[in-house]
Amino acid sequence: MQLTPVTASDTVIGQVLAKFVVGDPSLFELIAEDIDFRIDHFRDEVDTDWQKADTRDALISLVGRLGEEIFPKGTEALGIDSFELGNGWHLTCFNQRFFYGVRQKSVTSLTYIVSHEENGALDYFRENVTNIMDVQ
């Protein structure tokens, strides 16, 4: 299998992330009603059991909580790189810098997102947070 790079803005996941970064609530217009959403963390000390949703309304609540607890000062995209996997599936590498509310420190984080889109809506999202590094 070969990963085919695509311009992130040409994908629904890329559009959702771009809107998330600028705090644009219209990102939810790109979310399917029956979204299957979850964020997993590798070796992080924070409880992430609440970071999952199976409806758009549940996701709206989850993103609100993320804004309060994880991203109280928003986030900055350092890079969004997407690869087409076929049949509406994408792998996206999202590199960001933000003030991490849990640690009360500025951090960078690299995450990998596997997503699926159909009919212009994101219906599957799995984010794997690989690291959260303090900014020195």
Domain boundaries, the chain: 4-134
Picking from 80, 71, 65, the residue whose alpha carbon sits closest to that of residue 18 is: 80
Position 44 scores a pLDDT of 66
Phi and psi at residue 54, to the nearest 5°: -125, 10
Q: What is the mean pLDDT of the chain?
A: 94
Rounded Cα distance, 52 and 58, in Å: 8
Q: Per-residue pLDDT for 45 more than 90?
A: no
**109: how many CB neighbours lie within 10 A of its CB?**
20
Dihedral sign from CA coordinates of 13, 52, 45, 41 = negative
Picking from 68, 114, 96, 82, the residue whose alpha carbon sits closest to that of residue 9 is: 82
Q: Per-residue pLDDT for 57 more than 90?
A: yes
Span 77-135, pLDDT tens digits: 999 999 999 999 999 999 999 999 989 999 999 999 999 999 999 999 999 999 899 99
Evaluate whether 88 touches 116 at the Cβ level (below 8 Å).
yes
Query: Candidates 3.40.640.10, 3.10.450.50, 3.40.50.2300, 3.90.1150.50; correct CATH number of 4-134?
Result: 3.10.450.50
Picking from 78, 69, 59, 68, the residue whose alpha carbon sits closest to that of residue 21 is: 78
